[in-house]
Every structure is written in structure tokens, then in C-alpha cells.
């Protein structure tokens, strides 16, 4: 159990405790990762024990999902936390999810040395457990199903926002949440990697859809590009150049490979068009849609893949104000090589509207 691994690290490094706060305003993926619960509250972990503090209204959801057996209802969260912290001199905090104001209040509540443990959690989360792999694979299968429904209905959509609304409706019908807001970008809009869908009629040319669902905390991420109208020979050439870059780069996702090397290889396959790729070739996925391993500016700073690493490979090219093409899959690194978790077809789909 990952909580036990984290507790062993706390003991080894001399921490008295670590705490994680989860609120609607500032959700914590590390809280979810360690507790298994989406409830709002405070997770308090020592090298030998763990306590989940929740308000009365969150008790039932905490009890239903939490892996923490010691769940305490409290109407005075700060008072309860102060009592738990009473003898702790070194306390771990997730600096990625704690605001400056929250840290100041905590220091006033209890004097201790507060140390960032977000890196420890990032390292643990990079290697997925068998259960996490199962959940991530399920998120990817559901994402595939939603894409298939989108493609079956493409001729009835009039705008990018209609496609995005359909995607979200399919997600909510399943009782799930999006891992991120869907990106739908047609024609010249596709040249913007993070375009926000608009209400204008769909533009002819390439149309990029980037989306993934979150299933029991694990996030999928997939991008497919189709064409509206009649593609020219150059359009086809560009699309299959990106596809080749993606397919060949996927093969390098093996244990011990630097993400930096995959990035360099992908851009090499794009040739002179690599200058139109304005992002890295991919990123890690898991409880956050973007997490370790990452591609950094140097090989030394970039993540090295391990058995159990989950990641995306998503080369793309973007001609400002003209067109964009991106193809992305979520995959798992195994001893035998990459295992694709998203499987929607990648031959160019053409919609002649």
C-alpha cells in the first residue's frame, strides 16, 4: 500500500508527521492518492498511524471511499489538528497545494519546521500500482468510447462548442468528471494548442479534439485529429508525417529511456516542420493529468521511464493562423515495452460537410 511506503519514508527522514488538505477551492491529488477519498478534509499521517479529519457532512463519503480506517468527525478542524500536531517538530506539507495564507495560519497554529514532501509523492506516483493501472486503463477505455460516439455524430454538430458539450454530457451521464476541459479546435483554431471551443460554425480543415475522463481519481488523455472538407495532398502528407512521428516515438517508451530522448527523436522525424511543434512530446499522467515524468530542457533534468510509468506521446505541428495537427495516446511502460491504453484509430477521418 502506498500509504505504508510513504510512512516508511517519513520515518527514514525524521518527520514527525505530514498533512494534506483537500477542499473544493484547492483540491489535492496527493490527498486522494494516499487516502482514496474525494471528501473534503485533512489527512494527518505519522510514521506509524494515519487520521482523516472531516466535517460531519463529509463523513459518509469519507467512510465509503477512504482507505484510512481512523476517520474522525470534527466541528473544529483547526482545534483537532492542533491537538494532533502538539508534539511534532518536523511536519511535511504538500507545497504544491498549500497557499501562502494557509501556511501562515498553520505556523500560527503550531510552531514547527514545515518541509515540502510534494517531491516524495511525485516519485511514488510515477510508478503505478496494479490497481492504479486497472483504473487508468478503464479511464482510457471510457475515453475511447466517448470519442467513438463523437465521430459517429460528427455530421450533426455545427460548432466546436456543440462537440465539447456532447463530450461533457456523455461524461456526466456516466457519473464521471472530465480530467480537463475538452479542447475542440477546427480550421485555423487548431493552430492554438489550448484553444477554447467557440460557437462559430465549424471551420474546414483539420479539427483537433483533446480530452480524457477521470475515473476513480485516474486521468486519461487522448487527442485525435480529423479533417472537415477535402484534404489536399499536402494536408495528407502533413498528417501522416505527424502520425509517423507519434507511432515511431511510442516504440521508445521503454524502461531506462529518458523522456528527453523521445522528445528529440520525435522532432527529428518531423524534420524541418519540428520548428512548428511548440510543446514537448508528452508528459506523465495519473492522479493529475500532467505529472511526472516530464520532458525538461536538458536530458539530465528530464524524467527517466520506469516499469509502471504512465505517460502520453503527443507530437504536433501548428502553423499560426492556418492549421494544427496533434495525435496523442496514453500508454504504460512495461518490461516488454509500451502498452497503449487509448486505442481509437488514427487513420485520417474525413468528414465531407
Mean pLDDT of 231-254: 98
The number of distinct structural domains making up the chain is: 2
140 shares a domain with 105: no
Same structural domain for residues 83 and 152? no
Q: What is the mean pLDDT of residues 235-261?
A: 97
CA separation for the pair 61, 38 (Å, rounded): 8
Domain boundary among 125, 140, 169: 125
Question: Strand, coil or helix: what is 125?
Answer: helix
Q: Are residues 293 and 332 in the same domain?
A: yes
> Looking at the structure, do residues 113 and 8 belong to the same domain, yes or no?
yes
Q: What value, to the nearest 5°, has the Cα angle with vertex 171 and ends 167 and 174?
A: 145
Reported as a single tens digit per residue, the pLDDT across 3-48 is 999 999 999 999 999 999 999 888 899 999 999 999 999 999 999 9
Q: What is the DSSP string of 169-220?
A: HHHHHTT-EESSPPEEEEGGGGGSTTPPP-SSBPPSEEEEEEE-EEETTEE-
The pTM is what?
0.94
Do residues 216 and 309 share a domain? yes
pLDDT of residue 353: 73
98 vs 163 pLDDT, higher one: 163
Q: Which of 125, 152, 170 is the last residue of a domain?
A: 125
| pLDDT over threshold 80, residue 1 | no
Same domain? 155 vs 91: no
Instruction: Retrieve residue 323's grid coordinates.
Output: 492549421
Q: Tell me how far apart the terminal alpha carbons of the chain are, to the nearest angstrom.
A: 52
88 and 203 part of one domain = no
Domain boundary among 125, 146, 165: 125
Are 251 and 343 in a shared domain? yes
Mean pLDDT of the chain: 96
- Do 319 and 199 share a structural domain? yes
For 270, the domain range is: 127-351
Residue 192 sits in the same domain as residue 237:
yes
Check if the beta carbon of residue 311 is closer than 8 Å to that of residue 286. no
Mean pLDDT of 217-238: 98
Query: What local confidence, expressed as pLDDT, does residue 344 receive?
Result: 98
- 179: domain CATH number is 3.90.230.10
Q: What pLDDT shows up at residue 220?
A: 98
CATH classification at residue 37 = 3.40.350.10
Where do the H-state alpha helices sit in the chain? 2-13, 29-35, 59-65, 77-85, 100-109, 118-126, 130-152, 160-173, 233-250, 259-270
Residues 194 and 207 in one domain: yes
Distance, CA of 179 to CA of 288 (rounded, Å)? 8
Regarding whether 140 and 159 lie in a shared domain, the answer is yes
Which of 171-175, 200-204, 292-296 has the least mean pLDDT? 292-296
Amino acid at each position: 500500500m502506498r500509504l505504508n511506503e510513504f510512512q516508511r519514508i517519513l520515518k527514514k527522514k525524521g518527520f514527525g508527521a505530514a498533512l494534506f488538505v483537500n477542499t473544493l477551492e484547492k483540491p489535492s491529488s496527493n490527498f486522494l492518492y494516499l487516502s482514496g477519498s474525494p471528501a473534503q478534509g485533512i489527512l494527518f499521517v505519522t510514521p506509524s498511524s494515519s487520521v482523516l479529519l472531516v466535517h460531519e457532512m463529509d463523513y459518509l463519503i469519507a467512510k465509503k471511499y477512504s482507505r484510512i480506517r481512523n476517520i474522525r468527525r470534527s466541528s473544529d478542524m483547526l482545534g483537532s489538528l492542533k491537538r494532533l500536531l502538539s508534539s511534532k517538530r518536523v511536519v511535511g506539507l504538500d507545497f504544491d497545494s498549500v497557499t501562502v495564507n494557509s501556511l501562515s495560519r498553520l505556523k500560527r497554529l503550531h510552531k514547527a519546521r514545515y518541509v515540502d514532501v510534494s517531491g516524495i509523492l511525485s516519485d511514488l506516483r510515477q510508478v503505478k500500482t496494479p490497481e492504479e493501472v486497472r483504473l487508468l486503463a478503464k479511464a482510457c477505455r471510457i475515453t475511447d468510447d466517448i470519442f467513438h460516439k463523437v465521430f459517429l455524430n460528427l455530421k450533426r454538430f455545427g460548432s466546436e462548442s456543440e462537440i465539447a458539450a456532447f463530450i461533457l454530457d456523455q461524461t456526466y451521464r456516466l457519473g464521471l468528471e472530465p480530467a480537463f476541459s475538452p479542447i475542440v479546435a477546427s480550421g485555423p483554431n487548431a493552430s492554438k494548442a489550448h484553444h477554447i471551443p467557440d460557437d462559430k460554425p465549424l471551420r474546414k480543415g483539420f479539427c483537433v479534439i483533446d480530452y480524457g475522463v477521470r475515473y476513480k481519481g485516474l486521468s486519461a488523455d487522448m487527442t485525435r485529429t480529423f479533417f472537415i472538407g477535402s484534404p489536399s495532398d499536402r494536408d495528407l502528407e502533413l498528417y501522416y508525417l505527424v502520425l509517423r512521428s507519434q507511432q515511431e516515438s511510442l516504440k521508445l517508451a521503454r524502461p531506462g529511456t529518458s523522456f528527453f530522448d523521445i522528445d528529440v527523436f520525435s522532432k527529428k522525424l518531423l524534420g524541418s516542420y519540428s520548428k512548428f511543434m511548440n510543446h514537448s512530446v508528452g508528459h506523465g499522467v495519473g492522479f493529475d493529468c500532467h505529472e511526472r515524468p516530464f520532458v525538461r530542457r536538458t536530458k539530465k533534468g528530464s524524467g527517466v521511464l520506469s516499469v509502471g510509468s504512465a505517460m502520453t506521446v503527443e507530437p504536433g505541428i501548428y502553423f499560426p493562423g492556418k492549421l494544427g495537427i496533434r495525435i496523442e495516446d496514453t500508454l504504460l511502460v512495461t518490461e516488454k515495452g509500451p502498452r497503449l491504453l487509448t486505442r481509437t484509430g488514427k487513420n485520417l477521418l474525413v468528414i465531407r460537410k
